Structure 1
Amino acid sequence: MRSCVRAGTVRRVVLTSSAAAVSSRPLQGDGHVLDEESWSDVEFLRSRKNGTWVEPYPVSKVLLEKAARAFALEHGLSLVTVCPVVTVGAAPAAKVNTSVPDILSLLSGDDARVSKLELIERATGSIPMVHIDDLCRAELFLAEEEAASGRYNCGSVNTTVVELARFLAAKYPQYSVKTNRFAGLTEKPRVCISSAKLVGEGFEFMYKTLDEIYDDVVEYGRALGILPC
């Protein structure tokens, strides 16, 4: 951003943050809708200090966003921040250490990664997803849309581990998905991360359902050897 100021020719900066800066907060009950005014609770997260990745990661994203906003305001930069949810989809890589193995874990039988999905849901109230193609399109859209400003959540599906397991067991019976291992988790999301602001300004997601997302990602998982063909 300092380089952008020095150049004097940059019309807009698009910062990729994370929905982790939106959703990590104490919430009671169900039916919560989190929009761009929602922020993860830094003091709550710092107070937990249990040594997992769950606390430091959202704290870092909140601090990053707020520092960037302050810098942009001070120096007159147009800044748009995108907060993507769990991002999946094919990439030009032969080895992947991203969210792809996580959302394929119910099919691959990787219990450690299934546990990570459970951890995400218990911490945030849902498993929200967006396809990487939609995220890239959203960032281009916001770079070019003159009226764009502030934060934008970016996610097309809000689901749960239970709902995912049932969906995948029906769609891909050859993988013998376990559907009865998620004690204490509900079928419907307790929390919805809303992308209504992004859609309301004219953006349209291409991958809007679990079917559309998994059709692409399963094929990618097979190509990588995460899943048998």
Structure 2
Amino acid sequence: MRSCAKAGTVKRVVLTSSASSVTRRPDLQGDGHVLDEESWSDVEHLRAEKPPTWGYCVSKVLVEKAASRFAQERGISLVTLCPVVTVGAAPARRTRTSVPNCLSLLSGDEAEFAVLAAIEKSCSTMPLVHLDDVCRAELFVAEEPAAAGKYLCCSLNTTILELARFLAHKYPQYGVKTGLLSGELLEKPRVRLSSAKLVREGFEYKYKTLDGMYDDMIEYGKALGILPN
């Protein structure tokens, strides 16, 4: 951003952050909460309690706020995009992203499922977005003249149990590893991450259902060796 300010020719900077800057709040008791761009993860609570991945979440909040201050001081047009759990096929032949997590109900990988369960527990939802939609949203906020501030990028709020039922119906040949479905799993999301600001300004998601999200991810999982051919 210093280089952008020095050059004087950059029209807009797009910062890709994470919904982790929004979701980690201790005050979300009960059901029906809706979090949007005005919500922030509680940095003081995270620093005091140090739950899993607390440092990652704190870093996202601090980076976003520092970038925003710098942009205001230097007159830079800054837009921040915060994707949720990102799924779908990618060009990479190796992945350590959320793809193995979201395929763990079919692969039976307990370590990857543990990550998935931790996401649901910390967010009180399983928020998903397809990789293609993240890329399209990046271009949208870069090119849309009126785009400003922060945008959550989430096309679907679901739960692990809803995901398991969908996978069992759609891909019975793999067999959902129901033995993994223990512990405090949610029947329905208690929190919903809202992408209304992005949609209101003209963006349209291509992938809004589990069907669309998983069709190419199953083939991707085969190519990566996560799932059998």
TM-score higher than 0.5 here? yes
Partner SS for 1:173:
coil
Q: Which runs of 4+ in 1 moved over 6 A?
A: none
- Report the TM-score, using the length of structure 1 for normalisation: 0.96
- Report the TM-score, using the length of structure 2 for normalisation: 0.96
Letter in 2 for 1:211: D
Letter in 2 for 1:87: T
How far apart in 1 are the matches of 2:72 and 2:139?
Answer: 22
Letter in 2 for 1:68: A
Please state how far the C-alpha of 1:173 moved relative to its aligned partner. Answer: 1.1
Partner SS for 1:211:
helix
Please state how far the C-alpha of 1:115 moved relative to its aligned partner. Answer: 1.1
Please state how far the C-alpha of 1:19 moved relative to its aligned partner. Answer: 0.2
Partner SS for 2:129:
strand
What is the aligned-residue RMSD (CA, Å)? 1.0
Please state how far the C-alpha of 1:24 moved relative to its aligned partner. Answer: 0.7
How far apart in 1 are the matches of 2:184 and 2:140?
Answer: 40
Letter in 2 for 1:14: V
Please state how far the C-alpha of 1:211 moved relative to its aligned partner. Answer: 0.5
The corresponding residue for 1:17 is 17
The corresponding residue for 1:29 is 30
The corresponding residue for 1:42 is 43
Partner SS for 1:117:
helix
Q: Which moved more, 1:123-132 or 1:86-95?
A: 86-95
How far apart in 1 are the matches of 2:50 and 2:23?
Answer: 18
> How many positions carry a matched residue from both structures?
227
Is it true that 1:148 corresponds to 2:147 in the alignment? yes
Contact 2:17/2:80 (<8 A) preserved: yes
Contact 2:22/2:39 (<8 A) preserved: yes
1:95-134 equivalences in 2 (<5 Å): 95-134=94-133
Letter in 2 for 1:139: E
Is it true that 1:64 corresponds to 2:63 in the alignment? yes
Which digits, 9 at most, give the CA deviation of each residue in 1:121-141, with x for residues without a partner? Answer: 111111111111100100101
